Chains A and B, each alone.
Chain A
Amino acid sequence: MSYDAHLRVWRGDAEGGELVDFTVEVNEGEVVLDIIHRLQATQAPDLAVRWNCKAGKCGSCSAEVNGRPRLMCMTRMNTFAAGEPISITPMRAFPVIRDLVTDVSFNYTKARAVPAFSPPPDLAPGEYRMSQVDVERSQEFRKCIECFLCQDTCHVVRDHEENKPAFAGPRFLMRIAELDMHPLDALDRKRQAQDDFGLGMCNITKCCTEVCPEHIKITDNALIPMKERVVDRKYDPLVWLGSKILRRS
């Protein structure tokens, strides 16, 4: 069942680099990350790559396989024809550190900018009551494993370094939506999303949704509803207040 695959792996660092050709054995059931590990163990011990769980749960092994943002541990080798060369390159939206490892600190900076959950002051621990239907919307967004593939693919920042200060990217706009839909969060977040995190720059192309390995409907369920409510709120702040109160009772 095993065969030799032709891999073209980007090697280099911040100064520059190139695609390097490798021929590697592939066995039944293997994923791209297995092949990268085999390369490390047999041909390129210093090949830099991030990974942790190898089960699609930690979001560490993000890269671009044939130009498409993917988790290497969840990309089966049998999705490619046996003879076809496969290119593996680092995520393009972030500065390269070495080989397949990029500097993703942009994301952590944005994470730190989003105002934290604001707990209701009148409830003690253990007194929170929320119904399943109400938490489900935010729960969908909390499935996010922070692989940053959506951030990598979004055209607002992919080749536009200059947009990064003003735009938090789909992952963190979704985080704001998540908090906004949290049944007990006490802040109004739509204005923020629009003014401080660049919601307006998103033109709902849905590319982020397409690459999300957790199959989160980022655009439809987080971004679009938030855009709609930003509009509502501009005209009528009571709409927002009303909806918050209703949801709570």
Chain B
Amino acid sequence: MSDLERHSYDIVVIGAGGAGLRAAIEAREHGLRTAIICKSLFGKAHTVMAEGGIAASMGNVNSKDSWQVHFRDTLRGGKFLNNPRMAELHAKEAPQRVWELETYGALFDRTPDGRISQRNFGGHEYPRLAHVGDRTGLELIRTLQQKIVSLQQDDERELGDAQARLRVFSELTVTELLKDGDAIAGAFGYWRESGRFVQFEAPAVVLATGGIGKSFKVTSNSWEYTGDGHALALRAGATLINMEFVQFHPTGMVWPPSVKGILVTESVRGDGGVLRNSEGKRFMFEYVPEVFRAQYAASEAEADRWYDDPENNLRPPELLPRDEVARAINSEVKAGRGSPHGGVFLDVSTRLPADEIRRRLPSMYHQFKELADVDITAEPMEVGPTAHYVMGGVEVDADTAACVVPGLFAAGEVAGGMHGSNRLGGNSLSDLLVFGRRAGAGAAAYVEGLGERRPTSREQDVRAAEQDALAPFRPPGEDGSVENPYTVHTDLQQVMNDLVGIIRREGEIVEALERLGLLRERARRAGVEGHRQFNPGWHLALDLRNMLDVSQCVARAALERRESRGGHTREDHPAMDPTWRGVNLVCAQDSPGGPISLRRQPVPTIHPDLLALFDRAELAKYLTPQELA
């Protein structure tokens, strides 16, 4: 145990994306000593990649917007499976959270009268996304990062130590949560740089670890997205909900192969881009589902008029929620009307002047120019669906972000419920801010309520965590066989992509579960060479366990839900079924290392005041007759 480093904090935040940083700021503002832990360098978290914007009904561009309209759009997007209290808090608080960023130094694009500009996005009735060109995530993370620095400067002045109340531990991976009985007592991890082990004593842990995309072959997500927070929560006794819902973003790059999956922002469509098949047809008009007929244009002429006159025209079907567009693209490609490299065409070149494209979509322009030799001001892009976001996550209390495990909180993509079965674009960045702040406050209140009685972790748990972390250096293959972690990872990605991907069938999911079992065996034998100093093979071998836990939850829940809704499409059960609308599937691990169990639980009921925001005819498409009565 000689090389164990120990730290003690009031609150440990795992994750330095939007959710983690906002939570840490809140915890520090409550005067609590807070540690922020992240796998990458500070400022590189996934949030940096977000492009399109932050959804908040400030009403700067269309004054008709309000939290009620935002709430309504969010529930429609999530097909009424959202935790309604979360969706309500989110819609109400998002504007305040965005304005607050300006006081931290953020510089959003402006309206002519000097306010924050807002852009159109799929599923949002009014222009609602605060943005900075197509690099909004960078602005968000840099702003929060700089706010952290400014708080540290305050502490330096006041206490003579910049890190007295807020310290960032970057390139440190947490592999286990520590408990005292039922309650959280801290976290265990390793420095990526040295391989040295670290133990954090803390009565409250906020999970803000992001998503799970790296379990899929074609994804817009970075290496960090190995579902660590989901798996940590599961192993610590927390519950995961909605794991069957994975968002496939309709527009990822499809060519060249090495960039397949990289995101093409939805702003391309929000700003006028259209989807065409190999016959040159704008096919989305064929794919407007019944529930959305009343809100989307039926002809190209009307759709085109909408950009200039949204009051009197219906919006183009290219701006349907993502699940609809992704499925439509999938169908076109399957029907043989795809582009040369297996996608469809996304064209903005015939829709906007070249310099307008370069001004509004600068990073898309560069991305295609530099990675695919395509000039998007002159020719169409080729795009196809890519695994992008997980709606499922840790089950939390809407107001405090508390999980079922005392002392454990979760916010951001790792938390579940807010987005129901499908997330609207822009609703993640706002989610990070609203619930990041609430998690920081929730954790602070919990710690303050504990008083002097703080949980302590057990020495034997720390030792066990060390042993688990060292396992890849001595894999237990009976015949001495060692698996290459990179190969196991590639095989896992293939299984999830092919068998639990955008379109699912019972037989395939069953097969996936069998294969996941075999992969788990192989992962146990994953071995690495070399030593613990910055060893990516070792890091991956440890991440595999999390990816396998999470993939199993996705597959189990996908098998159970016999209907199609949002980010879960069953070819053998293609319709949306109102009796499933009220059901959350809950994954839990009843004993550490034990099997994952699955049970059903009712979705929290929607308060009558909120239900009254919809007309009956619309509700009838989602709810059962009993619920309507």
Contact = CB atoms under 8 A, between A and B. Distances in A.
A225 interface: no
Interface centre among B46, B58, B103 (most CB of A within 10 A): B103
B363 A46 contact: no
A129 B536 contact: no
B44 interface: yes
A115 interface: yes
B372 interface: yes
B175 to A, nearest CB: 18
A83 to B, nearest CB: 21
Given A58-B49, A60-B40, A125-B96, A138 B107 contact: yes
B257 A27 contact: yes
Given A29-B258, A125-B99, A76 B537 contact: no
B110 A131 contact: yes
A28 B257 CA distance: 8
Contact of B40 (A45, A47, A52, A74): A52
B511 interface: no
B370 interface: yes
Contacts of A142: 107, 132, 138-139, 142
Interface stretch (A93-101, A201-209, A231-239): A93-101
Interface in A110-168: 111-112, 114-117, 119, 125-126, 128-132, 135, 138-139, 142-146
Interface stretch (B21-29, B240-248, B526-534, B559-567): B526-534
Interface centre among A45, A48, A97 (most CB of B within 10 A): A45
A51 B534 CA distance: 13
A112 B147 CA distance: 11
B536 A48 contact: yes
Contacts of A51: 222-223
Contact of A143 (B135, B224, B257): B135
Nearest to B113: A129
Interface string A44-60: 01111111111111111
B115 interface: yes
A125 B40 CA distance: 31
A136 B115 CA distance: 14
B422 interface: no
A125 B115 CA distance: 12
B528 A45 contact: yes
Given A98-B534, A139-B107, A29 B255 contact: yes
A113 to B, nearest CB: 9
Interface stretch (B148-156, B328-336, B499-507): B148-156
B48 A53 contact: yes
Contacts of A144: 142
Given A45-B536, A97-B534, A117-B146, A58 B162 contact: no
A40 B486 contact: yes
B153 A115 contact: yes
B313 interface: no
A55 B142 contact: no
B150 A117 contact: yes
B256 A28 contact: yes
Contact of A57 (B49, B485, B530): B49
B371 interface: yes
A211 to B, nearest CB: 15
B424 interface: no
A112 B146 CA distance: 9
Contact of B44 (A60, A74, A116): A60
Contacts of A111: 149
Contacts of A244: none
A76 B534 CA distance: 26
Interface residues of A, dominant DSSP? loop
Interface centre among B102, B363, B531 (most CB of A within 10 A): B102
A34 interface: yes
Contacts of A76: 370-371
Nearest to B532: A46
B259 A29 contact: yes
B105 A128 contact: no
B95 to A, nearest CB: 7
A88 B115 CA distance: 46
Given A46-B528, A112-B152, A27 B536 contact: no
A143 B370 contact: no
B370 A129 contact: no
Interface string B122-163: 000000000011010111001000110110110000000010
A82 interface: no
A55 B149 CA distance: 27
Interface in A200-225: none
Interface in B321-371: 363, 366-367, 370-371
Contacts of A54: 222, 259, 262
B41 A104 contact: yes
A146 B104 CA distance: 19
A245 B133 CA distance: 28
B538 interface: yes
A30 interface: yes
A190 interface: no
B162 A112 contact: yes
8 contacts: A30-B256, A41-B490, A45-B486, A58-B222, A116-B153, A139-B132, A182-B105, A182-B107
Interface of A: 13, 27-31, 34, 40-41, 45-60, 74, 76, 97-99, 101, 104, 108, 111-112, 114-117, 119, 125-126, 128-132, 135, 138-139, 142-146, 179, 182, 185
Given A117-B150, A139-B132, 16 more contacts: A30-B258, A31-B258, A40-B536, A40-B537, A45-B484, A46-B529, A48-B536, A55-B263, A55-B367, A56-B366, A112-B152, A117-B146, A119-B105, A126-B58, A130-B114, A144-B142
By Cβ-Cβ distance, the 4 closest A-B pairs, closest first, are A29-B256, A116-B150, A117-B105, A45-B537
